[in-house]
Amino acid sequence: MISKKAYFKFCYRFKIIPFDINLFFDIKNFSTTTNNNKRNFLNEIEFLTKNDFEKFLIKNIKNYLPDIFIEKFTSLRCSIMPYISNKKKLILSQIAFHFNDIFNIWLVEMLKKKSIFFPSHHGGSLIFQNAITVSRKYLSKKFITWHKPIDKQDVQLSPLKLVDIDIKLKKNRQNCLIITNELPRYYYMFPDVPVGENNLNEFLKIRNLMKFLKEEIIQSIIFRNSPNTDWGYKSLIKEDFKNSIKFSTNNNIFSDFKNTKLLICGYPSTPFSESINLDIPSIFFFSKKNWNIHTKFRGLLDDMQNENLFFEDEKLASNHINQIWHNIDSWWNKSSVQKVISKCKKDFFKINKNWLNEYNNFFNKHI
Q: Averaged over 33-43, what is the pLDDT?
A: 80
pLDDT category at 135 given cuts 50, 70, 90 is low
pLDDT at 228 over 60: no
More confident residue, 154 or 232: 154
Closest CA relative to residue 309, chosen from 296, 321, 291: 321
**Domains in the chain, start-ordered, CATH in brackets?**
4-33+72-156 (no CATH), 175-348 (3.40.50.2000)
pLDDT of residue 275: 97
> CA 119, CA 22: separation in Å to the nearest integer?
15
Nearby residues of 167 by Cβ (< 8 Å), 6 or more positions away: 254, 257, 258, 278
pLDDT at 132 over 60: no
| Torsional sign, CA 63, 66, 71, 74 | negative
Burial letters for 60-93: b for 16+ Cβ neighbours within 10 Å, e otherwise?
Answer: eeeeeeeeeebbbbeebbebbeeeeeeeeeebbb
pLDDT category at 189 given cuts 50, 70, 90 is low
How much of the chain exceeds pLDDT 70, in percent? 95
pLDDT at 354 over 90: yes
Tally Cβ neighbours within 10 Å of residue 183.
20
Q: Averaged over 178-198, what is the pLDDT?
A: 77
pLDDT tens figures, 167-180? 899 999 999 999 99
pLDDT at 161 over 70: yes
- Report yes or no: 55 and 49 within 8 Å, Cβ to Cβ: yes
pLDDT of residue 163: 92
Q: Averaged over 4-11, what is the pLDDT?
A: 88
Cα 352 from chain centroid (whole Å): 21
pLDDT at 185 over 80: no
Q: Averaged over 44-60, what is the pLDDT?
A: 87
233-237, 252-256, 264-268: least confidently modelled range: 233-237
